[in-house]
Structure 1
């Protein structure tokens, strides 16, 4: 018999609470997280930061429909030890990368705050639909976590009341990270125009009160399935509709063919300037930490 806790490991769980006009996503990343993190030897604070970002990417990207739809999250600053964090999600495939100053990071100690990592930074979230439409919102990196900044994005840019909770744990078998997203939809159904969204709507106050009771230990408990977690939170509601979403995987899209097509767009003189002493153009993929040597 399959362990119930294994069912939604590295897979999104989608759910709705019809009587409360709410929808949600839940995910626990395990093997896919280790695979993405293994590309770089990140120190603990950066590992925690990127693990949180990848969970958020899965939760928010999981709201999109269509194989070509993509969510990209980018956090950037000019005065913090972390210069750039970027990750994206497309049809279950995820990738992420952090560029940081090692010396300045080492001065911060073992558990630096979000402000210590980024300083006066900002977070840009971009949704690209399968129909080619593009939506972007930018919010300051304020609060205790990336999750708090993403909540602010949904309220300010999309006027959708949203709860986001993320937990990360280091274990003997690697890193486990999990998260919960819950949203209030004013019209009660996905796909309809959102009118008169109220942060103080009684249904949303009820759902958010339940959602915020989730603990860090519950999120990262590998013995508790995400479905069981949702039922633990909302089991007294009139109805819960839950179904499996996409499985997640490492999705770096770098290939020799891809880079050859990109390089081919440059004029010949610019390609000459890119070549090394051996006549090759070397492309370094920051996401997967691989070099591609092109005989362009």
Structure 2
């Protein structure tokens, strides 16, 4: 059976955590389908930008799955290339959104052409206000390489990452060598710790080579269990329960209604007189929220009851 024929059989919108038995090596695998389509339902991205955004969306889910508190992780790229800004966000419970700003005239194939010179920032924000940010230069020929550099420098965690995206799916795998926990002090323990570190390092390097050998189509289409076996060949894995991943933007009829009230009735009446309705487009997901004249009147008590925006397209 071909890769294309197997697409319909694989899970989507799921994240799977795993560890290598008896080693300080952990990993995550994510594949997005419906969530990836919903994220860009109201946006039209050129193919190269779409693939980069898909990779970033898969990456932010992988990174968010590593945080140990309730909060949100933001991956942001700013550069001098065609994509001047890309932001992907994911909460601790794997609700994500993403957006890219780009110059369509400059869009071309290749990571360097898309991002140019710039930086990659990873920001962790805990509910309650604690905030941590790490920044690395963009480079290395891919988003995966830039993220590996981030983990090596900012987290001191050697990491191997593979990312892929197309029109219908986005996927990624992350494998890390974790710090070893030592036991009692002594020469024997030091030797044992060094041996365990060497073994974990060898496992990670073998995994890095295996991930490099995976074609993008395989990462998107092959069953997760098969991919994990190939990435960590020869090792027993402990698999955690599957977690669901979903698209969720913060825009809503209630939020837009509040913004419209702040503009004032006179301002909105002028827009209605000119355009027949008021339409507000979310800057993040590009969803248009359309308010008819009666709905706008309802915001200011001019109807029997307030009516939320329809979310209809112009």
Is the 8 Å Cα contact of residues 171 and 220 (structure 2) preserved in structure 1? no
Is the 8 Å Cα contact of residues 13 and 227 (structure 1) preserved in structure 2? no
Asked if residue 155 in structure 1 is aligned to residue 155 in structure 2, the reply is no
Structure 2 residue aligned with 1:164: 161
Structure 1 residue aligned with 2:112: 115
Asked if residue 46 in structure 1 is aligned to residue 44 in structure 2, the reply is no
Query: SS in structure 1 opposite 2:240?
Result: strand
Asked if residue 176 in structure 1 is aligned to residue 175 in structure 2, the reply is no
Q: Which residues of structure 2 form unaligned runs of 5+?
A: 1-5, 183-192, 301-314
Distance 2:231 2:68 in 1: 26
Cα deviation per residue 1:228-248 (whole Å; 9 max; x = unaligned)?
3212332522x4210134211
The structure-2 alpha-carbon separation of the partners of 1:58 and 1:188, relative to structure 1 and needing over 3 Å to count, comes to farther
Distance 1:283 1:221 in 2: 35
What TM-score does the superposition give when structure 1 sets the normalisation length?
0.79
Structure 1 residue aligned with 2:89: 88
The structure-2 alpha-carbon separation of the partners of 1:51 and 1:70, relative to structure 1 and needing over 3 Å to count, comes to same
Is the 8 Å Cα contact of residues 166 and 219 (structure 1) preserved in structure 2? no
The structure-2 alpha-carbon separation of the partners of 1:49 and 1:220, relative to structure 1 and needing over 3 Å to count, comes to same
- How big is the shift at 1:71? 1.0
Higher relative contact order (CA 8 A, sep 6+): 1
Q: Which residues of structure 1 form unaligned runs of 5+?
A: 190-196
CA RMSD of aligned residues (A): 3.1
Distance 1:124 1:281 in 2: 36
The structure-2 alpha-carbon separation of the partners of 1:48 and 1:217, relative to structure 1 and needing over 3 Å to count, comes to closer
Distance 1:118 1:218 in 2: 23
Distance 2:223 2:197 in 1: 30
**Highest Rg: 1 or 2?**
2
After superposing the two structures, state which structure 1 stretch, 115-124 or 129-138, moved more. 129-138
Distance 1:72 1:36 in 2: 16
Structure 2 residue aligned with 1:104: 106
Query: SS in structure 1 opposite 2:206?
Result: helix
Cα deviation per residue 1:74-118 (whole Å; 9 max; x = unaligned)?
1112x322121111111121111111111222xx3xx2x222112
Query: SS in structure 2 opposite 1:149?
Result: helix
Asked if residue 124 in structure 1 is aligned to residue 121 in structure 2, the reply is yes
Structure 2 residue aligned with 1:70: 72
Structure 2 residue aligned with 1:210: 206
Q: Which is richer in helix? A: 2
Query: SS in structure 2 opposite 1:117?
Result: helix
Is the 8 Å Cα contact of residues 53 and 98 (structure 2) preserved in structure 1? yes
After superposing the two structures, state which structure 1 stretch, 178-187 or 27-36, moved more. 27-36
Cα deviation per residue 1:119-143 (whole Å; 9 max; x = unaligned)?
2111111112356422111111111
Is the 8 Å Cα contact of residues 20 and 188 (structure 1) preserved in structure 2? no
Distance 1:253 1:80 in 2: 28
The structure-2 alpha-carbon separation of the partners of 1:251 and 1:114, relative to structure 1 and needing over 3 Å to count, comes to same
Is the 8 Å Cα contact of residues 164 and 220 (structure 2) preserved in structure 1? no
Asked if residue 252 in structure 1 is aligned to residue 249 in structure 2, the reply is yes
